[in-house]
Amino acid sequence: MSSLLLPLLFLGCSTFYGQCATISISPGGTAFQDALDEVNPGDVIEVGHGDYWEDIKTTIDGTADMPITIRGAGGTDDRDNVVLRGDGTSSRVFEVKHDYYIIEDFTVNGDAEDDPDRGTGSDSIKELWRDILIYATGIYDFRFE
């Protein structure tokens, strides 16, 4: 029995949750919000180099075992080259309203509209923000456990 269980553990996404996907986005390619609208638990959104001029918000929860990851493609040392600037259509550049997200390795810059109150917000307490630069923005509603 144990010899059957081990291979099943390695199948992870494909066996129990469908096929986990990596969605690559880039300026001029798939829009950031379009990727968020299509993401499923366990998926990764990989954000390519460039400036992203759109306000975005999450649309679905990840799970404890299958968080949704949003990450800059170049890693921590390259996060200045992956910048979410927003487009001014919302009071927040990036709004996280769902649980179980890992958000890493890019910059959120809310100064595009010269409004220091624009920025990021979260109604969720089950997310991990790491290696993110957030500046010229307001930060609202964050809760930490």
Q: Does some domain include residue 4?
A: no
Q: Which residue has the higher pLDDT, 113 or 9?
A: 113
What type of residue sits at position 28? G
pLDDT at residue 132, as a whole number: 53
> Closest Cα partner for 135 from 69, 72, 83, 74?
83
- The range of the structural domain enclosing residue 61 comes to 19-140
pLDDT at 143 over 50: no
Count of structural domains, the chain: 1
Q: Is residue 58 part of a domain?
A: yes
The answer to whether position 2 is within a domain reads no
Q: Would you tell me how many other CB atoms lie within 10 Å of the CB of residue 11?
A: 10
Confidence label for 107 from pLDDT (cuts 50, 70 and 90): confident
Residue 133 lies in a domain: yes
Q: Pick 88 or 26 by higher pLDDT.
A: 26
Residue 11 lies in a domain: no
